[in-house]
Structure 1
Amino acid sequence: MIGAPAVAVTGLGLITPAGDGVASTWEQVCRGQPTSAVDPRLSGLPVDFSCSLQEGTLLGRGAPARSTWRMSPVAKAAVSASYDAVLDAGLETASWDATRVAVVVGCGVGGLAQWRTQALRLADKGAASVSPLTMPMALPNMPAGEVALSLGIHGPSLATATACASGASALMIARGLLASGQCDIVLAGGSEMAVDPLTVAAFHRMGALSTRGHDISGASRPFSPERDGFVISEGAAILVLERVQDAAARGRRPRAYLAGCGASTDAYHPTSPHPQGTGSEIALRQALGDAGLAPADIDHVNAHATSTRLGDAAEAAVVGRSLAHGPTVTAPKGVLGHTLGAAGAIEAALTVLTIEHQLVPPTANLDGAVAEGTLNHITDTARPQRVAAAISNSFGFGGHNVVLAFTADPPD
């Protein structure tokens, strides 16, 4: 909602291939250590590696034990991240007004694995073999629905589906819900568990995936001249958002503030970005205007940078053109791979952590010349830096562009 007031980020929940929780993910991202590895689920495919969740990651925590059996992995990931975020925010579900709490969870692919496995059952064994849980496990709104069920939330429960911008879109919608007065607390973010043979085969056929099988740890190479596609990943992130005055009233110090949002559509091509990045530049300038920031106020950019040739080139052009003063740039997908519908939320959470810790993580696998532009890339090691304002970029198939602006201090 353009023109809405800034909101406080009071809690974070993160589940990524770098770790189960905020601290472990942040630590590995700051080390710049890639998580890509051979994935047994993809055995026999032309691309058989991914960034997958670590063994022992507990999905579905916070939900009643009797209910997790019916959830898809993407819903379980959203529930776990939401549970962690609520704890981090210091909220008590037993005492909040559940009618004044909302959930917005972005999901780009959803339960595609359920569709695939059940379609095979139908073809092999007939209709009687299809699971009655197929629909609730496969529908893309169910991560949001299961979060509401698990935490007893009775306010609005929404799903956003803007491909790889879905998680960022969820945060933008959440800010609007708070501004409209429909709720007092929003759990917002994204979840995606799409590492599946069908998904990987489809992306490979498009030419979107890295085929760097001889150097798997170096396969995700944002902004590198040697980049050849993204590495598919999985995970979830949920942020707890509240109005600034409400967080202050309960004595909660925010981690950062979501100060502005911008969104646009390229209307150029179903899967390729506009080569000059005109749509994403519109979203960037909207986010700055919404936050009351000038371009020179931005200290840091968390880039979408998937490691594809066209996408990274367009983003580099936009950042270089719009933020010519040279803010630092990092691209977490070098470590985490591309989590699709969860990426915008995960990277928003990392932007919040960058502001909170005043530390910029490096872009993994960017150890030499960059392909385009003269951006101020952080490489090799994390760099301490004063970051008063930062943006997080998210772009998706369909031409969806969302830019979020975060600040260290509350609005005047």
Structure 2
Amino acid sequence: MTEKKPATEVWITGIGLATSLGEGLDAHWDALNQRRINVDEKGFAPCVVHPLAPLVFDAQIPKKGDQRQMEAWQRIGTYAAGLALESAGVKGNAEILARMDMIVAAGGGERDLAVDSNILSLEAKGNSAPGFLNERLMSDLRPTLFLAQLSNLLAGNIAIVHGVTGSSRTFMGEEASGVDAVRIALARIAAGQSDIALIGGSQNGERKDLLVLYEFGEFNLKEKFAPVWERGAPGGFALGSGGAFLVIESKAHAEARGAKPFARLANVVADQSHRKQAGDVTSTLEKLWTQLGKIGDKAAVITGATGVEPATSEELAFLKAHGGLPVRASGTVFGHTMEAQFPLGLALAALSLSRGALFPSAGAPSVEVEMSARPSQIVVIGTGHWRGEGMALVEAIK
């Protein structure tokens, strides 16, 4: 599944970030340049997580009733979406919001652990009469809980809170869903089917139910934090809490409303290797690289590499084959935000290009060399921990 490079120029005009480093672009840029990492090795021990920085949700979700009916990952995403709309200068613009497309990459809803624990405890004690489970579900769960489990409720909440009421799509599929959300949005604008779109995703990584789920696959990083490239076998990811949303639009649409771009979204390509043979990921990334377009000598790479093996080692082999390019692994700093990891990489790329510098390395210096030159292009790579590969080419606008 690949797309040709679009003829219509597409700009990134809004960025919304709410992560373990804080909220907003200045806060993130300062933290990145200070090599700050917010990691928790004890709160969910033995698993390592990157907890969300404190947010005042009222700033983007003013109604308490709206906040209460959302799960945490929905609040995070709705908050980040509001930041992106503000950044693009379209928040509250009813005419634009009414025709703005929205493509969200989303996972599943969160369990109510108190209810689950109580039911299991009573079951274990033999205190469960016929119809017990149905009775408890009807009396213990609030009416909106089942709706809150639906992945497309994040898009619904963004529409309710921020008034984004154009077409709406929600993709599931872990990291690959983030790649396809961007790919489809770009293709629609390039084809003239859309003028402006809101894209992104979010995750609450501070969830015991989610950590248990990934522990079944032995994917969690445990005991002690280490940068992505230094985790060795069997590796693992440290889940991160955060939301990353972007506003992208055609150059003509942006210029007509006087919007200033952060960067140009030149191309997005995606694939899914079989991962049956050693080196499959490496060869798939090489194929995607050739489809991106011309890469110049002032390019850099931001990758969402997970730390999970063998995918991370195979991606590292690809990067070493292009060893002249500076690399940054977002997972070292932000943790692994799953569906939001690719949009997060795009946001960091656009931010770096707009600031005229690549942020310093927080990982292995043998892989993540420093870059003194002003980058003109940044390649964003997304390699799923289990399935799915994608790349985007983001370029500076002179």
TM-score range, shorter chain: 0.7 to 0.9
In structure 2, the residue matched to 1:10 is 13
Q: Which runs of 5+ in 2 are unaligned?
A: 123-132
- Give the Cα–Cα distance (whole angstroms) in 1 for the partners of residues 360 and 215 of structure 2: 27
In structure 2, the residue matched to 1:36 is 39
* More moved, 124-133 vs 69-78: 124-133
2:397 pairs with 1:390: no
Taking a change above 3 Å as real, the CA distance of residues 365 and 175 of structure 1, as seen in their structure-2 partners, is closer
1:187 deviates by 0.8
SS at match of 2:284: helix
Taking a change above 3 Å as real, the CA distance of residues 385 and 298 of structure 1, as seen in their structure-2 partners, is closer
Amino acid at match of 1:176: A
1:136 deviates by 2.0
- Give the Cα–Cα distance (whole angstroms) in 2 for the partners of residues 274 and 160 of structure 1: 28
Bigger Rg over Cα: 2
SS at match of 1:199: helix
1:22 deviates by 2.0
2:238 pairs with 1:231: yes
In structure 2, the residue matched to 1:203 is 214
Amino acid at match of 1:7: V
SS at match of 2:380: strand
In structure 2, the residue matched to 1:240 is 247
Q: Judge conservation of contact 2:202–2:339 (CA < 8 Å) in 1.
A: yes
Amino acid at match of 1:221: P
Query: What TM-score do the two structures reach when normalised by structure 1?
Result: 0.84
- Percent identity, please: 22
Amino acid at match of 2:242: G
- Matches for 1:10-409 after TM superposition, within 5 Å: 10-38=13-41, 40=43, 42=44, 45-47=45-47, 49-58=48-57, 61-62=60-61, 64-107=63-106, 109-114=107-112, 119-120=116-117, 123=120, 124=122, 126-128=136-138, 129-211=140-222, 213=223, 216=224, 219-224=225-230, 226=232, 228-268=235-275, 275-286=280-291, 288=292, 293-296=293-296, 299-321=299-321, 323=322, 326-367=324-365, 370=366, 375=367, 377-378=368-369, 383-409=371-397
* More moved, 25-34 vs 236-245: 25-34
Amino acid at match of 1:110: G
RMSD (Å) for aligned C-alpha atoms? 2.6
Cα deviation per residue 1:53-87 (whole Å; 9 max; x = unaligned)? Answer: 12345377245443222111111111111111111
Amino acid at match of 1:74: W
Taking a change above 3 Å as real, the CA distance of residues 242 and 408 of structure 1, as seen in their structure-2 partners, is same
- Give the Cα–Cα distance (whole angstroms) in 1 for the partners of residues 275 and 152 of structure 2: 28
Amino acid at match of 2:5: G
- Give the Cα–Cα distance (whole angstroms) in 2 for the partners of residues 106 and 402 of structure 1: 14
Q: Judge conservation of contact 2:275–2:281 (CA < 8 Å) in 1.
A: no
Taking a change above 3 Å as real, the CA distance of residues 153 and 235 of structure 1, as seen in their structure-2 partners, is same
Query: What TM-score do the two structures reach when normalised by structure 2?
Result: 0.87
- Give the Cα–Cα distance (whole angstroms) in 1 for the partners of residues 190 and 164 of structure 2: 19
Taking a change above 3 Å as real, the CA distance of residues 110 and 310 of structure 1, as seen in their structure-2 partners, is same
- Give the Cα–Cα distance (whole angstroms) in 1 for the partners of residues 326 and 165 of structure 2: 41
In structure 1, the residue matched to 2:125 is none
Amino acid at match of 1:21: G
Q: Which runs of 5+ in 1 are unaligned?
A: none
Q: Judge conservation of contact 2:236–2:306 (CA < 8 Å) in 1.
A: yes
- Give the Cα–Cα distance (whole angstroms) in 1 for the partners of residues 92 and 186 of structure 2: 21
Q: Judge conservation of contact 1:20–1:57 (CA < 8 Å) in 2.
A: no
Q: Judge conservation of contact 2:298–2:373 (CA < 8 Å) in 1.
A: no
1:162 deviates by 2.7
1:350 deviates by 0.5
Q: Judge conservation of contact 1:266–1:280 (CA < 8 Å) in 2.
A: no
Taking a change above 3 Å as real, the CA distance of residues 361 and 57 of structure 1, as seen in their structure-2 partners, is farther
* More moved, 250-259 vs 311-320: 311-320
1:363 deviates by 3.3
Q: Judge conservation of contact 1:389–1:407 (CA < 8 Å) in 2.
A: yes
Taking a change above 3 Å as real, the CA distance of residues 298 and 201 of structure 1, as seen in their structure-2 partners, is farther
1:208 deviates by 1.9
**Corresponding pairs, count:** 380
- Give the Cα–Cα distance (whole angstroms) in 2 for the partners of residues 197 and 394 of structure 1: 25
SS at match of 2:249: strand
* More moved, 1-10 vs 81-90: 1-10
Amino acid at match of 1:149: I
1:402 deviates by 1.4
